[in-house]
């Protein structure tokens, strides 16, 4: 799995680095690296994967139910991106 980012014309190095990090997040490179940091027992891995499958199924059924009922899909508020995200209130210096 190779991720390549070419620096565009008139693009800062910081912006290209942000694009690279975003692509790494989307492709799951960080998740794989974190998962392989420590050994995970086979039973723990199966339990975790089962929980992830259940969470995905529950989310899909909740979205389908909301669409059938005519509700708008749930969306995160604009400023709720978490630590380090955009749209954050700058702290006093």
User: Per-residue confidence of the chain (93 residues) as pLDDT tens digits?
Assistant: 688 999 999 999 999 999 999 999 999 888 888 888 999 899 999 999 999 999 999 999 999 998 888 887 677 676 655 555 555 555 554
Tokens found for residue 90:
């700058």
Q: Which long-range contacts (CB under 8 A, 24 or more apart) does 82-86 make?
A: none
Tokens found for residue 6:
């070419």
Return the beta strands (E) in the chain as ranges: none
- Residue 77 in contact with residue 69, Cβ under 8 Å? no
Measured in degrees and rounded to the nearest 5, phi and psi for residue 30 equal -65, -40
């Amino acid at each position: 799995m190779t991720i390549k980012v070419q620096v565009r014309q008139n693009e800062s190095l910081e912006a290209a680095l942000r694009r690279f990090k975003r692509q790494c997040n989307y492709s799951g490179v960080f998740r794989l690296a974190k998962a392989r940091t420590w050994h995970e027992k086979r039973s723990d891995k199966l339990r975790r994967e089962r929980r992830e499958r259940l969470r995905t199924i529950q989310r899909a059924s909740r979205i389908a139910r909301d669409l059938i009922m005519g509700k708008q899909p749930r969306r995160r508020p604009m400023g709720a991106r978490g630590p380090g995200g955009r749209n954050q209130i700058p702290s006093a210096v």
